[in-house]
Amino acid sequence: MSDYVQINTHSHYSFLRALPKIKELVATAKKYNMKALALTDAGNLHGAIEFYKECTKNDIKPIIGVHTYVAPGSRTTEHERDHELARIILLAKNETGYKNLLKIVTDSYVTGFCERPRVDLELLKKHSEGVIAILPTHISETSILLEQGNKTEAAALLATYKEIFKENLYLEITHHPEQKERAILVEKIIALSEAENVPLVANQEVYYLKPNQHEAREVLMRIREGRLAKKSAKLDLSFKKPKDIEKAFKKYPEAIANTKKIADSVNLTFELGNWVFPDIKVESGLSYQDELIRLAYEGIPKRGLEKTDEVVDRIEYELGIIKAKGYAPYFLVVGDLLDFARSKGILTTIRGSVAGSLVTYLLGITNVDPLEYKLPFERFLNPERPSAPDIDMDFADNRRDEVIAYTREKYGEDHVAQIGTFGTMAARAAVRDTARALGHAYMVGDRIAKLIPIGSQGFPMTINTALRMEPELKKLYKGDEDVKEIIDLAKQVEGCARQTGVHAAGVVIAPTPLINWTPIQYDPKGGKLITQYDMHSVEDAGLLKFDFLGIKNLAILADAVRMTKEETGDIVDIENIPLDDSKTFKLLAAGHTGGLFQINSAGMTRYLKELKPTNIHDINAMVALYRPGPMESIPDYIERKYNPKKITYIDDRMKDILSMSYGVITYQDDVLLISIHIAGYSWLEADKLRKAMGKKIPAEMEKQHEKFLEGCVKNGLEVEKAKKIWELIAPFAGYGFNKAHSASYGRVAYQTAYMKANYPVPYMTALLTADAGDIDKISVIIAECDRMGIPVLPPDINESNADFTIVENNTKIRFGLVSVKNFGVGVAEAIIEERTKNGIFISLVDFLSRVTSHALNRRGLESLIKTGALDSFGTRGKLMKNLDHLITFHREAGAEAEAQDSLFGSLAPAHRLDLEEAPDAPTEEKLVWEKELLGIYISGHPLDQFEEKLKSVKRNIEQHIEGPKSTLPTVVAGMIESVKPFLTKKGDKMAFVKIGDTSGFIECVVFPETFERSNALLFPSS
């Protein structure tokens, strides 16, 4: 067996520099009978934990390292030579060395980043203990000096490195006979090694697995550098067999032996998944568990519950499991974060299975009583479950950052970070980028990419799958050499990590500084500190993920509650509103669901009108059922609600599980409980059943099918009945919704409906403000306001705030200034500030004289006129006619204001403003202006002039959308809002056309034959 160990090894986590996935590297090492393998990605440790786990699983010793960059001087200073940075390989020898690697890599990003992460001698000296250093053949500092002929300087620098790393320093030599310059450099390195008594280590850089992947790696490099097809030196950077390496270095057996010596010296083991919790100060002085017990029992009267046997038994059961798992501090931290949010008026809710916990309900973490809703605790935590607890905290999205800021302040800036993620090369992107890298025009790659179907959630599309599924793609692949080359190379770069990002919700909180657990870096886009380890590696390293999710609808609710208090004086405690409000259920039964959370789609609205919900459980059930698979049960649910005779159970044991849903399997929990109580599954087995159904793997499903039937029969059920139950649950569970999650989201859906039914103007104003940047959504909301009899008025310089505003005694809504196109936040704030400070503007002269902000430029003033914000000072036609005069007056007034002493700043200017008379703009022109600058029509609608003719059209667009589905031809009348033409696979033109009327929008597909016939009519405003 060979002594050779591969060290200089790169995975796809080197970001567009290398091809191999971790599994592929380890599988290749195993195939070559290697007993150890190192991972040295470019500048980062992203793959370290994944690599450690994969090696350990395959009985290969993992050597964790990094191939990082060395600054020419101090890492904290930019240098002219930063574009040609030297490299150094660093390996963790033991736990101390690993912790030092975490610190070195973190510092290289946080204090040393300039285009790339950089280290310097000061940093290496500070964290050298337990670290092995290798100066690589290619572009190490010593190699650069040797190539320049500076042997003395190279020797002096090597002596410095030797002083830092002592016996843990090596010089790498590589074998590339295809490049003469490299062979000459290797000879110089060998001479330096002998002269300075620094051992050699033989190695080959690995950036791909097989020699024939050179071209694919070249494509990857071109994508990273943004260059087109220009060949680089063809060095073989594949993963070579040990015997080939030994043959290449037969003159230097000690250099081969040193690879084994390095591997043997490494003694690093992790205990993965041993979670640690943040330190939280307990004011009572009690232990974490005792504090949890105290809070739980104190919560009984606070929640209006009685201390019954049922309540006490459930508390003790849950606390027993929490204690056995050691999770008490986790619950206390979550409670602390939510307490802070509520103390600041930040609306929150909790999603997921945690709502099945009575303890969290009593602590105020969740707001759903699991006893009332029959939510099982075991869906969240059970003795058999190996995974960590997971509590997803939802916050109003416009205030989520406040909670994260509090977390950093409370638990320590260096103890808290958001979790990093990786963007990978998906199938379509891989094809497009590969085509461009090969020098093809964009349309070439785009044409191929569009033949690749979009994957489904949880099942991403791959190029190989697309080739099997799409005959047109397969035909092109076989018949066009260029296409074949593009696809063959794209398949090799597909799935490679492309860049880092930030997890949408995940935050980690450590008991000690995070660099003891994970390397840290800045998010390249936003400047936030993030972990280099992804959510899975972070948890393996011992840190639990806390999910801070931003939910727009919570911000809408909070805004609506605030405006309700301001406008009416009513104080709405949104967490404690009555759950039997007749106005709310009347609104839902009528199908007036526009702008509601989770229940506002056309299909959902149709079902709600049929269901006519009468309690919160109906809403929860609809949230769960309205998805593929379970949706087929909705008619049955509705029929059973109104006809109890239809409620039947295959087995009486199902009654306790399904009684609240009229005997209809509605939630994932129903499937789990049926498998436990009827088929005899444990909770762990039931969870495996759920996962198997979700993945839909035929072989696994067949195993589960047999196990389920066997268990049912063993528990006294006839086999035919067992089969019937399986037929009910099998198509369901993969799409089924968690019952606790449905209860949490159903509650928020009800809250939005309650506010809309009882406080319509504040709610719709909050809704408009939340969607202010989305013209399509604003249009739909304003159409809903129109149906509700709530006028939405154009902007007004004396009434509009930055956001949408309630006016005229809580009866109307006024457009916000920030919603006007070409009108920035700065000038809007200047106008509002001046109006608040010195009163409303009494005339055009007054306005132009007082708002002297340079932000009010020609485009801004024109936008105010065209949208009607200055209608109180003159007609739009007249003001547009005098626009140049207005601009001159405003400029001169601003100059005078700057020249005057601030004491006299409010004096009127000496100039007069005489406007030339002009007729008002026609209604049609006003509507064009409003559409252009507000995104919608305010003063009317272009279809108003056709009112008589449109009476022959039986239904408007909203009625079509909400009405029953039909395959019969139908007629709608409206204006074309947008046309998106595109080519079919055969090259024929067709289009997506959006048509709108006063009630909403509908999207139509215009197929090629129709498109060719009607093309001249298909343009916006037609």
Give per-residue pLDDT as tens, 10-31.
999 999 999 999 999 999 999 9
How do strand 169-173 and strand 529-531 relate by DSSP bridges? Answer: unpaired
Distance CA 692, CA 672 (A): 12
Residue 759 lies in a domain: no
| Residue 904: predicted pLDDT | 47
Residue 4 lies in a domain: no
| Residue 971: predicted pLDDT | 81
Q: What number is the average pLDDT over the span 841-858? A: 87
Instruction: State whether 290 and 197 are in the same domain.
Output: no
Collect all residues with Cβ–Cβ distance below 8 Å to 586 and sequence separation of at least 6: 757
Residue 49 lies in a domain: yes
Output the domain CATH number for residue 838.
Answer: 1.10.150
Instruction: State whether 588 and 553 are in the same domain.
Output: no
Instruction: State whether 461 and 608 are in the same domain.
Output: no
Instruction: Kindly give the residue spans of alpha helices, DSSP state H, lying in 450-534.
Output: 463-469, 471-479, 481-493
Give residue for tokens 């500076």.
150
DSSP-assigned states of every residue in 656-708: HHHGGGTT---BHHHHHHHHHHTT---HHHHHHHHHHHHHT-HHHHHHHHHHH
Give the C-alpha distances (Å, rounded to integers) separating 903 from 445, 498, 768, 838.
66, 59, 40, 14
Strand order in the sheet with 812-814: 792-793, 812-814, 805-807
Q: Mapping DSSP to helix (H, G, I), strand (E, B) and coil, where does residue 392 land? A: strand
DSSP-assigned states of every residue in 291-341: HHHHHHHHHHHHTT----HHHHHHHHHHHHHHHHHT-HHHHHHHHHHHHHH
Instruction: State whether 349 and 497 are in the same domain.
Output: no
Q: Mapping DSSP to helix (H, G, I), strand (E, B) and coil, where does residue 398 land? A: coil
| Residue 602: predicted pLDDT | 85
φ and ψ of 793, to 5 deg: -95, 155
Distance CA 864, CA 870 (A): 6
Which contacts (CB < 8 Å, 24+ apart) does range 174-183 have?
A: 174/8, 174/136, 174/137, 174/138, 174/202, 174/203, 174/204, 174/205, 175/202, 175/204, 175/245, 175/248, 175/249, 176/235, 176/236, 178/234, 178/235, 178/236, 179/233, 179/235, 181/147, 182/137, 182/138, 182/235
Compute and round to an integer the Cα radius of gyration of the chain. Answer: 34
Other beta carbons within 10 angstroms of residue 1010's beta carbon come to 15
Q: What is the mean pLDDT of the chain?
A: 91
How do strand 989-997 and strand 86-92 relate by DSSP bridges? Answer: unpaired
Instruction: State whether 727 and 817 are in the same domain.
Output: no
Instruction: State whether 894 and 858 are in the same domain.
Output: yes
Give, to the nearest 10 degrees, the angle between helix 552-568 and helix 760-770. Answer: 140
| Residue 734: predicted pLDDT | 62
Adjacent-strand bridge partners of 201? 172
Residue 518, pLDDT > 60, answer yes
Contact call for residues 212 and 237 (beta carbons, < 8 A): no
- What is the residue type of 275? W
Instruction: State whether 119 and 254 are in the same domain.
Output: yes
How do strand 169-173 and strand 200-202 relate by DSSP bridges? Answer: parallel
| Residue 91: predicted pLDDT | 99
- What is the residue type of 863? S
φ and ψ of 122, to 5 deg: -60, -45
Instruction: Quote the tokens at residue 748.
Output: 């928020």
Instruction: State whether 797 and 890 are in the same domain.
Output: yes
Sign of CA dihedral 222, 223, 226, 229: positive
Residue 352: closest CA among 393, 383, 400: 393
For 420-475, what is each residue's pLDDT tens digit?
999 999 999 999 999 999 999 999 999 999 999 888 666 789 999 999 989 999 99
How do strand 392-396 and strand 348-351 relate by DSSP bridges? Answer: antiparallel
Q: What number is the average pLDDT over the span 674-693? A: 91
Q: Mapping DSSP to helix (H, G, I), strand (E, B) and coil, where does residue 1008 land? A: helix
Instruction: State whether 129 and 211 are in the same domain.
Output: yes
Q: Mapping DSSP to helix (H, G, I), strand (E, B) and coil, where does residue 812 land? A: strand
φ and ψ of 604, to 5 deg: -60, -40
Instruction: State whether 687 and 735 are in the same domain.
Output: yes
Instruction: State whether 706 and 724 are in the same domain.
Output: yes
Boundary-marking domain end, from 265, 282, 303: 265
| Residue 902: predicted pLDDT | 47
Give residue for tokens 């230097």.
252
Other beta carbons within 10 angstroms of residue 714's beta carbon come to 11
Other beta carbons within 10 angstroms of residue 825's beta carbon come to 11
Contact call for residues 781 and 935 (beta carbons, < 8 A): no
Instruction: State whether 641 and 731 are in the same domain.
Output: yes
Residue 996 lies in a domain: yes
Among 269-278, 747-756, 930-939, top mean pLDDT goes to 747-756
How do strand 497-509 and strand 416-424 relate by DSSP bridges? Answer: antiparallel
Residue 765 lies in a domain: no
Instruction: Quote the tokens at residue 891.
Output: 């400029």
Residue 306: band (very low, low, confident or very high) from pLDDT cuts 50, 70, 90: very high
Residue 326, pLDDT > 90, answer yes
**Residue 792 class from Cβ within 10 Å (0-12 exposed, 13-18 middle, 19+ buried)?**
buried
Residue 957: closest CA among 943, 936, 939, 940: 943
| Residue 875: predicted pLDDT | 95
Instruction: Quote the tokens at residue 1021.
Output: 């405003």
Boundary-marking domain end, from 934, 962, 989: 934
Give residue for tokens 């572009």.
139
Distance CA 617, CA 623 (A): 10
Q: Mapping DSSP to helix (H, G, I), strand (E, B) and coil, where does residue 500 land? A: strand
Distance CA 507, CA 523 (A): 13
Residue 146, pLDDT > 70, answer yes
| Residue 506: predicted pLDDT | 94
How do strand 61-70 and strand 118-119 relate by DSSP bridges? Answer: parallel
| Residue 903: predicted pLDDT | 45
Output the domain CATH number for residue 183.
Answer: 3.20.20.140
- Give how many domains the chain has, as a whole number: 6
Residue 667 lies in a domain: yes
Residue 114 lies in a domain: yes
Boundary-marking domain end, from 880, 909, 934: 934
| Residue 799: predicted pLDDT | 94
Collect all residues with Cβ–Cβ distance below 8 Å to 216 and sequence separation of at least 6: 19, 208, 489, 492, 493
CA–centroid distance for 668 within its chain:
24
Give the whole-number percent of the chain exceeding pLDDT 90.
74
Q: Mapping DSSP to helix (H, G, I), strand (E, B) and coil, where does residue 376 land? A: coil
Residue 652, pLDDT > 50, answer yes
Other beta carbons within 10 angstroms of residue 316's beta carbon come to 12
Residue 961: band (very low, low, confident or very high) from pLDDT cuts 50, 70, 90: low
Instruction: Quote the tokens at residue 584.
Output: 């709310």
Q: What number is the average pLDDT over the span 568-572? A: 96
Contact call for residues 648 and 671 (beta carbons, < 8 A): no
Distance CA 400, CA 336 (A): 15
| Residue 937: predicted pLDDT | 86
Residue 908, pLDDT > 60, answer no
| Residue 320: predicted pLDDT | 96
Residue 268, pLDDT > 60, answer yes
Residue 388: closest CA among 482, 274, 470: 274
Question: Taking the model in full, what pTM does it have?
Answer: 0.86
| Residue 36: predicted pLDDT | 98
Q: What number is the average pLDDT over the span 477-488? A: 96
DSSP classification of residue 813: E
Contact call for residues 358 and 366 (beta carbons, < 8 A): no
Distance CA 361, CA 743 (A): 13
Q: What number is the average pLDDT over the span 161-177? A: 97
Segments forming the whole domain that contains residue 778 = 771-934
Contact call for residues 77 and 118 (beta carbons, < 8 A): no
Residue 650 lies in a domain: yes
